[in-house]
Structure 1
Amino acid sequence: MAFSVATNEHLIRSNIWSSKLKEVFLEDLVAMKWIDMVEDFPDGDTINIPSIGQAEVSDYAENRPVTYTAFDTGNFTFTISQYKQTGVYITNKMKQDSFYYEQLVAKFVPNMYRALAKQMEVDALKVGPDGQTPNDPNTINGAHHRFVSTQTSEVMGLKEFALATYALEMANAPMTNLVAIVDPSVEYTLKTQSNLTSLQFNPKWEGIMRDDLITGSKFSFSILGWDVYTSQNLKKSVNETIAGPDSSTSGAGVANLFFSAAPDARPFIGLVREQPHIDSEYNKDYQREEYVSTSRYGFGLWRPESLVTIITDTDQVV
């Protein structure tokens, strides 16, 4: 008796299925640690936070009555505006017939938590640009807090970091814990700038720039006093013409965020009223196991003077 593929093809498995499931890579989430969470908001969905301005000073003449002026006051209204859900089910027939059933079910809960966490990140990172006036420099004390990059092709450059520093200084924001969250296209641009990688013009940065710019924590590098983090979840399609330093126009814009993360100066405020949790039950009518997770939360631009939005184009990675 002889065995060969030609005469015994039915004994050969021509299409093999692995016992593993491939999962997509996930980006790191960075935004929530810089949200100033509201603590005195036990119920309801809207809270009012009053604010006061500075005392006024005027000239005084001897033997004349003093002029009394009231402080400027304001009211910041914060609302829990987001109510999100994610749901998945698996039928009895799928559980009975699928070789991957146990692996699938084991992934339901972590994937649902992750999906809601990413949505929170996206909503948190867009609240700054959304809280500002679009197509406007959002000037505070003469400095622009929203502008399109002044560089050729609207990419990020050192000048933009300096302009962000200037804007915060003019707004009297604390110049500590300076954080920039930028798009991967910005990281690429800065990483390929010769004056940053060769250190030809920046010898004092040698200790900072010598290491690889990309790390697992998504901390990219420090430059001009700014700790730079990379995120894929910044607000995109921000295509604006702003009367900024060079009156530039963005065509494939992304809103990069520069802010002071000092505890008393964080520009973002937030509250998670309902933390994500999993509810599951068996649906006898549809003969399936159902999993549901919901979450309620809200974010707002609390201190606009501590935030600078710099718009760059994402289509210049070549």
Structure 2
Amino acid sequence: MTLAEPRPRLTQYAAGGGCACKVPPGELERVLGALTPPVGDDLLVGVETGDDAAVVRLDGLAGGPSRAIVMTTDFFTPVVDDPYDWGRIAATNALSDVYAMGGEPLVAVNLLAWPRDRIPFELAAEVLRGGAEVSAAAGCHLAGGHSIDDPEPKYGLAVTGVADPARLLRNDAGVPGVPLTLTKPLGLGILNNRHKATGEIFVEAVETMTTLNREASRAALAAGVVCATDVTGFGLLGHLYKLVRASGVSAVIDAAAVPYLEAARPSYAAGYVPGGSRRNLDWVRPHVESRVDEDELLLLADAQTSGGLLVAGELPGHPVIGELIPAAEAAIIVR
């Protein structure tokens, strides 16, 4: 690519974008249902409750200091056109799963797929630079990785973290009477969809997607919270449904209390809605009792990329958007 040539728009090389390109949750669960290994002994968290990462006890069985390994991976197609920002967003998103379990990332490796014959490989270096800067800011070693030649660009990280097995944030530990706190505003899927269609840049969205969930995770642990998840491709309703199902409770959401990025509602009204958001709502709809209209439900199901933590507990500085209640006929009540 020469100085005279325009920089390619990365989002135009992807069928989907960010976490909105996830396999639909219902379809994924049907496939994984027969492949779920039981937890036990040192495997503390597997795939049985759809939690954010796997957790394996490392040591401490003899009464000494106890540690656990937290392992996750996450990668996706371009969510923004700028390669450096895409790298930062993808790395922040991958690290989030460790924070969502109450862990601290220790080491990560890159996962890169690149259409070398269609997009200059120099732009891949910018993607990797963004990922490296976020990893460094998180205090996480970034050591190598794996790359392939692929028709569609993809980037992310495989991350290993550490945690105290007695102080995990799990999605199956929710109890009735606990408030629900959301640490980042919604609307990222809508704005990313608009960016892909128009090229408009939403600085607030990029800043949100590149903000680590580290401080929110640490605050949750300091407050004695034991239940949390992060809000990504399955939307607030989808991830909340997985949490209440795993915990054997229900939830009430106050739709008016849910925060949104400033441009999200106008962009929704203009028709910029990811297909993944509609699939999310289709999946959770049978489990939702709604006292709001369809538009509000679709906003709550918006497929987020590198969203915030949904915490079963109250965190200062973040809005309470609802509470967990005893198991009811509907898993989620939106009012």
After TM superposition, the score normalised by the length of structure 1 is: 0.24
After TM superposition, the score normalised by the length of structure 2 is: 0.23
Q: By percentage of residues, which structure has more strand?
A: 1
Q: Which has the higher contact order (CA 8 A, sep 6+)?
A: 1
- Larger Rg computed on CA atoms: 1
